């Protein structure tokens, strides 16, 4: 028996040691992959090269180095990502690069918002002033893909492919029926009839106010969409509208007949045309460089020794307290970046680049304060991306000037709070009851195991009203408007960029580069370097801290498929705490 236990013990120890060694080997392997990827040399661009612009990858505000994406278990070509800032910088460089002869634009289903796509589209239009050609080709064009592809000199579609052109739609998912079945009551405290973020929790359809604002901004987005295509394809906007309304593009031949594309071709024919454009003999291979590779040649172009700098501070994602991440606006991290730029005497102006649906009211105010202090000593220009709403607008409203894209979604000046009442779920569904003692009447305020009392609702409503009053006061001061006026265009209403300019919530439509130029002009500097804040998070630290989360995310995506976004929405709603300044629940344009 003693020998038996000795062998069992030895086996267990061996298994544990083997697992430990495997874990060490796995970590070393990951670190090796990461180091290799981070030390990739700059790409040597040969003469007569084609720039391969793949826009089906995830397009973020800034290019992040994600070590996990390098792993074959999870990573794939589809998981690649690039920052729109690197795309724009690369296109600007390619315009004057004698080695780049043309662009091959490949896009089927871009993972970016409409304002980001317009930024890239503007950069492509600027590239075309060099007289270099852009060839677009795809087997399938979604509507967003076609918006980008339409800027090309030649747009080609696979003879058996498809071009989607049917108009835009916005759809919201409502949870009231499910909450009723579960015995959950969403107790809503809000300011603003248009603050539709909470509607999915207490109704089963859009309110009249919400339908009004969604109709307004969706039509604004559509107008911008059709206008861009109209100018590039030389087809009038009314005709495009009619083509979409009547669903006239059903077959590839329809796209050709209505001049939406220039030809129906296979990939080999596209390759031959690219060879001709780049000056290559048809018998030789194309010299090509991907946009990701090409961007690496300019990723370290920041001149930190320059006497004059324009600092770009990226505020991207949900607004939360604390440090946040590269995909979140942490009040500590972003306010520290603003402060650092303010105290740097070589930084003459700041561009606050915002792409955020909002979040914590308190965290928004912390960042707003740093912008106010900075504005007193140097110019601050705000540049809005796809979304700068609610808290996203809050943090920027004190800027000297606000730039929006025509299809930016902004505004949503409103405040809300949601306190779930889970009493029926606990008592009737799960058979759980609660009992206890307290030393104060409101010691258990915001408890989720019972409905709110009238006194508790009044307290919370007063707090929400106070935050809303602070919000509209900040906006009124920053925009030089009366509080009454801000309240009249606020109330939680969402506006498209062009309308935001008309009502005074923004100053002008313009892209990211125009905002930088305006900041330099206001600072009265001509020769300057652009530097970016905050510093990107250490990919090694990110890897070690988030590997488990990324594995879970990967498998959740595999299991849930298209329903993964629903899971994200529910998870996000559950995780929020404190009074929120957020835009409507989830704007998804298709």
Q: What pLDDT digit, counting tens, does each position of 223-253 carry?
A: 999 999 999 999 999 999 999 999 999 999 9
pLDDT(23) > 70: no
- Return the domain boundaries, the chain: 49-166+247-296, 309-582
What is 361-402 written as a DSSP string? HHHHHHHHHHHHHHHTTS-EEEEEEEEEETHHHHTTTTSSEE
Structure tokens at 150: 């339409």
pTM of the model: 0.83
Q: Does this chain's domain 49-166+247-296 share its CATH topology with 309-582?
A: yes
Decide if pLDDT at 7 tops 80: no
Residue 456, φ and ψ in degrees, nearest 5: -65, -40
- Per CATH, is 309-582 categorized as 2.60.40.10? no
Give the model's pLDDT for residue 587: 55
Peptide bond before 95: cis, by omega within 30 degrees of 0? no
Q: What's the pLDDT score for residue 578?
A: 53
| Residues known to be catalytic | 195, 390
CA 63 from centroid of its chain's CA atoms: 12
Higher per-residue confidence, 568 vs 119: 119
What is the per-residue pLDDT for 326? 80
Beta bridge partners of 318: 328
As a whole number of angstroms, the distance between CA 440 and CA 140 comes to 64
Measured distance CA(340)–CA(396) in Å, rounded: 17
Dump pLDDT digits (tens) for 57-82: 999 998 876 555 444 444 344 468 89
How do residues 69-118 score in pLDDT, each as one tens digit? 444 444 344 468 899 999 999 999 999 999 999 999 999 999 999 999 99
Find the mean pLDDT for residues 277-303. 83
Residue 188's Cβ-count burial label (10 Å; 0-12, 13-18, 19+) is middle
Would you state the torsion angle of the CA atoms of residues 253, 256, 262, 263, taken in this order, to the nearest 10 degrees? Answer: 10
With residue 579 as reference, give the H or E element that holds it: none
- Which is more confidently placed, 222 or 66? 222
pLDDT at residue 91, as a whole number = 96
Whether the per-residue pLDDT at 541 is higher than 80: the answer is no
CA distances, 272 to each of 55, 131, 282, 457 (Å): 22, 20, 6, 70
**Residue environment code for 446-471, b if the CB has 16+ CB neighbours within 10 A, otherwise e:** ebebeebeeebeebbeebbeebbebb
**Highest mean predicted confidence (pLDDT) among 2-16, 164-178, 572-586:** 164-178
The residues, ordered by sequence, that sit 6+ positions from 115 with a Cβ below 8 Å of its Cβ are 384, 385, 386, 387, 404, 405, 407, 408, 409, 497
Q: Which of 125-129, 299-303, 433-437, 492-496 has the lowest mean pLDDT?
A: 299-303
pLDDT attached to residue 173: 87
> For residue 545, what pLDDT band results from cuts at 50, 70 and 90?
very low
| pLDDT score recorded for residue 79 | 62
> Which residues have C-beta within 8 Å of that of residue 79, sequence separation ≥ 6?
58, 69
Average per-residue pLDDT for the chain: 85
Residue 161 in this model has a pLDDT that exceeds 80: yes
What CATH class does 49-166+247-296 carry?
A: alpha beta
pLDDT of residue 66: 55
pLDDT for 508 equals: 96
Q: What is the pLDDT of residue 20?
A: 52
- Which of 260 and 33 is assigned the larger pLDDT? 260
Confidence band for 557, pLDDT divided at 50, 70 and 90: low
**8: how many CB neighbours lie within 10 A of its CB?**
10
| Structure confidence at residue 191 (pLDDT) | 79
**Average pLDDT of the segment spanning 292-318:** 86
How far apart are the C-alpha atoms of 503 and 482, rounded to whole Å? Answer: 13
Task: Summarize the confidence of residues 383-403 as an average pLDDT.
Answer: 96
């Amino acid at each position: 028996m003693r020998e038996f236990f000795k062998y069992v013990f030895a086996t267990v120890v061996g298994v544990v040691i083997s697992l430990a060694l495997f874990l060490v080997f796995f970590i070393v392997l990951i670190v090796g992959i990461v180091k290799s990827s981070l030390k990739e040399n700059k790409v040597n661009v040969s003469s007569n090269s084609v720039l391969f612009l793949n826009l089906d990858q995830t397009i973020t505000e800034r290019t992040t180095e994600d070590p996990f994406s390098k792993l074959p278990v999870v990573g794939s070509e589809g998981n690649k990502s690039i920052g729109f800032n690197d795309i724009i910088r690369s296109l600007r460089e390619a315009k004057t690069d004698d080695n780049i002869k043309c662009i091959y634009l490949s896009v089927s289903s871009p993972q970016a918002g409409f304002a980001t796509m317009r930024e890239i589209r503007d950069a492509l239009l600027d590239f075309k002033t060099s007289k270099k050609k852009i060839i677009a080709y795809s087997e399938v064009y979604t509507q967003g893909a076609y918006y980008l592809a339409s800027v090309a000199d030649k747009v080609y579609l696979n003879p058996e492919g498809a071009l989607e052109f049917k108009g835009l739609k916005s759809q919201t998912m409502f949870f009231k029926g499910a909450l009723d079945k579960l015995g959950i009551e969403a107790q809503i405290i809000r300011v603003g009839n248009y603050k539709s973020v909470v509607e999915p929790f207490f109704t089963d359809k859009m309110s009249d106010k919400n339908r009004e604002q969604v109709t307004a901004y969706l039509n604004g987005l559509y107008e911008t969409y059709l206008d861009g295509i109209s100018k590039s394809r030389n087809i009038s906007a009314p005709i495009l509208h009619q083509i979409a309304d009547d669903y006239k593009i059903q077959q590839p031949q329809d796209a050709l007949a209505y001049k939406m594309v220039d030809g129906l071709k296979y990939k080999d024919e596209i390759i031959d045309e690219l060879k001709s454009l780049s000056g290559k003999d048809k018998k030789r291979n194309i010299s090509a460089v991907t946009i990701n590779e090409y961007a690496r040649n300019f990723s370290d172009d920041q001149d930190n020794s320059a006497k004059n700098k324009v600092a770009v501070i990226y505020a991207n994602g949900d607004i939360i307290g604390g440090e946040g991440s590269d995909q979140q606006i942490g009040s500590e991290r972003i306010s520290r970046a603003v402060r650092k730029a303010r105290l740097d005497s070589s930084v003459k102006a700041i561009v606050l680049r915002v792409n955020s649906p909002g979040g914590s009211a308190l965290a928004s105010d912390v960042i707003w304060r740093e912008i106010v202090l900075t504005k007193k000593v140097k110019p601050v220009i705000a540049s809005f991306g796809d979304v700068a709403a609610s808290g996203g607008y809050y943090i920027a409203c004190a800027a000297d000037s606000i730039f929006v894209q025509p299809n930016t979604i902004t505004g949503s000046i409103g405040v809300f709070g949601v306190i779930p009442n889970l009493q029926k779920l606990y008592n009737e569904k799960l058979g759980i009851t609660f009992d206890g003692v307290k030393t104060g009447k409101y010691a258990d305020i915001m408890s989720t195991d019972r409905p709110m009392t009238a006194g508790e609702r009044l307290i919370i409503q007063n707090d929400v009203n106070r935050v809303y009053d602070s919000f509209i006061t900040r906006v009124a001061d920053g925009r030089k408007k009366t509080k009454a006026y801000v309240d009249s265009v606020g109330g939680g209403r969402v506006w498209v960029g062009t309308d935001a300019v008309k009502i005074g919530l923004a100053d002008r439509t313009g892209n990211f580069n125009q905002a930088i130029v305006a900041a330099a002009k206001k600072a009265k500097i001509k020769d300057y370097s652009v530097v970016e804040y905050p510093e990107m998070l250490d990919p090694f630290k990110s890897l070690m801290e988030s590997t488990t989360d990324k594995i879970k995310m990967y498998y959740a995506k595999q299991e849930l498929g298209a329903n993964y976004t629903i899971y994200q929405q529910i998870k996000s709603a559950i995780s929020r705490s404190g009074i929120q300044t957020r835009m409507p629940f989830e704007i998804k344009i298709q």
